[in-house]
Amino acid sequence: MILSISGVVLLGIIAFLFFRKDGMKISHALVCALFGFYLAGTAIAPSIKAGGQSLASLLGGIKF
């Protein structure tokens, strides 16, 4: 749960920065959001979630 909330916040910040720099218009953001909602309802959603979790564990294991 914490990972998905953090991911949503991170993607929200990235979208906001793109919007502020005129790299992304409101219409583009709406299309991306709708695509995400439709993608979450498909059969590939568990694979995407598993990939995100493995990426997070990989990044969490990096020692500085």
Residue type, 17: L
pLDDT in tens, 26-56: 777 777 777 777 777 778 788 888 888 898 8
**Distance set, CA 35 to CA 6, 21, 25, 32, 57 (Å):** 20, 22, 15, 5, 26
Note the pLDDT of residue 23: 75
- pLDDT class for 3, splitting at 50, 70, 90? low
Note the pLDDT of residue 15: 77
pLDDT in tens, 11-26: 778 777 877 887 777 7
| pTM exceeding the 0.95 threshold for the entire prediction | no
